[in-house]
């Protein structure tokens, strides 16, 4: 295992574990909202009357969601939607990191131009596209809860990155084809 590949492998594994741990904590927040909603309160000054608390959706400011009403009180529906969305976004991010370290591991002993690598690269592309779409869906669902306010912010760069990764998967697929042709010549 080469130094850079080993570092990438280790970092991707660590990032995956951190995303899963974060998803568990977000899921615990959701469960607390189900079991003991009275235990969840707005404690910062930002939740005072006349102010709304808007929290960023989980992975990297993909969106924002208002979780307090005009009186500064916590809207449980928005809170539950926020935590559920967080779990989904963190899980999608963890799955992307899993695919990354699996690609590195697959490529250690041979060429990266393998069918399983192409499949995993495509999956990463779709995961990058899915995360901001989850945020948009949650923001639209929150519109029903906090009508007439709508706050949708989408990180288009994540969608663009997903499309670029999907395009790269085609390059890897072509590399697989060339490898297969090369083996036929030998």
User: By CB neighbour count within 10 A (0-12 exposed, 13-18 middle, 19+ buried), where does 106 fall?
Assistant: middle
- Token digits for 149? 């306010």
What pLDDT is attached to residue 94? 96
At residue 64, the 3 state secondary structure works out as: strand
At residue 69, the 3 state secondary structure works out as: coil
DSSP string, 45-70: GGGSTT---EEE-TTTTS-EEE-B-T
Residue with tokens 């899980």: 91
What pLDDT is attached to residue 182? 80
What pLDDT is attached to residue 49? 46
Q: Which parts of the chain have pLDDT scores under 70?
A: 1, 41-66, 70, 72, 146-153, 184-186
Specify the DSSP class assigned to residue 58: T
- Rounded distance between C-alpha atoms, residue 84 and residue 92, angstroms: 13
What pLDDT is attached to residue 120? 95
pLDDT tens string 105-148:
988 878 888 899 999 999 999 999 998 888 888 878 877 776 66
| CB of 67 closer than 8 Å to CB of 83 | no
């Amino acid at each position: 295992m080469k130094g850079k590949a080993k570092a990438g492998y280790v970092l991707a594994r660590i990032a995956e574990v951190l995303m899963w741990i974060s998803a568990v904590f977000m899921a615990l927040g959701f469960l607390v909202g189900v079991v003991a909603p009275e235990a969840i309160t707005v404690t910062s000054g930002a939740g005072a009357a006349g102010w709304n608390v808007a929290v960023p959706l989980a992975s990297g400011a993909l969106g924002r969601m208002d979780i307090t009403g005009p009186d500064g009180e916590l809207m449980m529906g928005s809170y539950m939607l926020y935590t559920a969305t967080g779990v989904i976004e963190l899980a999608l991010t963890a799955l992307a990191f899993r695919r990354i370290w699996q690609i590195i591991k697959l490529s250690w002993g041979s060429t990266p131009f393998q069918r399983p690598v192409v499949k995993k690269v495509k999956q990463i592309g779709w995961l990058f596209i899915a995360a901001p779409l989850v945020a948009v869906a949650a923001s639209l669902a929150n519109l029903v809860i906090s009508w007439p306010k709508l706050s949708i912010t989408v990180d288009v760069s994540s969608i663009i990155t997903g499309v670029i990764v999907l395009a790269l998967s085609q390059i890897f697929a072509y590399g697989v084809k060339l490898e297969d042709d090369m083996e036929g010549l030998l």
